[in-house]
A and B are shown apart, each in its own frame.
Chain A
Amino acid sequence: MQRILIATDGSDHAEKVIDKGLVLAEALNAEVAIITVVGEYVFSPRVSMQFTNDNWKQINQHLKEEAEELVAKAAKPFKEKGLSVETKVVIGHQAPADAICEVASEGNYDLVIVGSRGLRGVKEMFLGSVSNKVAHLGCTSVMIVK
């Protein structure tokens, strides 16, 4: 478990995920990457139809800035502990779970840490949709933080 990918969405629960990830990364002296996935999927088709191209550009730019801020903040405690940490922001049409798995596979990560619920989790009964899907996609070992 030398390379750990930690997924965050900026929710309250994601802070817990970061905390657990920090403990594990420190214990294993692992290389860490913090990832967040944002994209157009957050808008329903009914809403997005009314956007112009300029609107889209602006929204994407805003999402990107927000996401970069989010991962930079999450990476801070890792830096403070002297761990190697990088940040990743994925913006696109794909679902968060797919994007997380893609990055995990391509980057040869040994472990993905996700939260059991997050921003979208309120809709879920118990285990969040993203963590559930990541576990099912089977890209790598998964730790689900509850």
Chain B
Amino acid sequence: MYRILMAIDGDEHSERVTEETITIAKGLNAEVTVLHVTGEYDVKNRISVHMSDDYWAQIKKNMQEEADKIVNKAAEKLKENGVKAETKVLIGKQSPADGICKMADRGDFNLLIVGSHRLKGVREMFLGSVSNKVAHCTVKNVLIVK
């Protein structure tokens, strides 16, 4: 079975990434794992020292809910189009690229699909920082959707 890992960050471009993944997954009769990586890296250290444990718990819960929404929405779209899909959310201290790489290397995936225009991309010159890092670190075949 051909297995695809699709990593999305939930921005507008994620829809395009999902559409391209549908095309490819249907063609290859592939199974898709929808991945979203989020975590504490999103909160600046300077801010985080002022937060209580309760507040952190609340934030993590919000992150989880937000992440679930993102992957479920994409998975539903895949399923609507007849593509077998499962979801995975990683929440932790790692960067999105590291999380994606770890997941891609651990699972038995034939192809990793990411978008090139990411939320963090505004800081980058052209190619999003995440897709750039992922292209370098993972041993899998990588498709970068523009």
State whether the Cβ of B24 lies closer than 8 Å to any Cβ in chain A.
yes
B139 close to A146 (CB less than 8 A): yes
Q: Name the A residues within 8 Å of B63 (CB-CB).
A: none
Interface size class of A (residues with CB under 8 A): 20 to 34
Measured between beta carbons, the chain B residues less than 8 angstroms from A131 are 135
Main secondary structure of the interface of A (DSSP, over half): mixed
Known: A135-B144, A141-B145. 16 other contacts (CB 8 A): A1-B20, A1-B24, A27-B29, A28-B24, A111-B143, A127-B135, A127-B136, A131-B135, A141-B20, A141-B143, A142-B143, A142-B144, A143-B141, A144-B142, A145-B141, A146-B141
Which residues of chain B have C-beta atoms less than 8 A from A144's C-beta?
135, 141-144
A141-B145 Cα distance, complex, nearest whole Å:
5
* Chain B stretch 57-97: residues in CB contact (< 8 A) with chain A: none
Q: How many A-B residue pairs have CB under 8 A?
A: 62
Q: A126-B136, A143-B143, A146-B139 are in contact. Are A138 and B23 (CB under 8 A)?
A: no
- A→B interface (CB under 8 Å): 1, 20, 23-24, 27-29, 111, 126-127, 131-132, 135-146
In the A-B complex, the 7 residue pairs with the smallest Cβ-Cβ separation, listed nearest first, are A27-B27, A143-B143, A28-B27, A27-B28, A144-B142, A141-B145, A142-B144
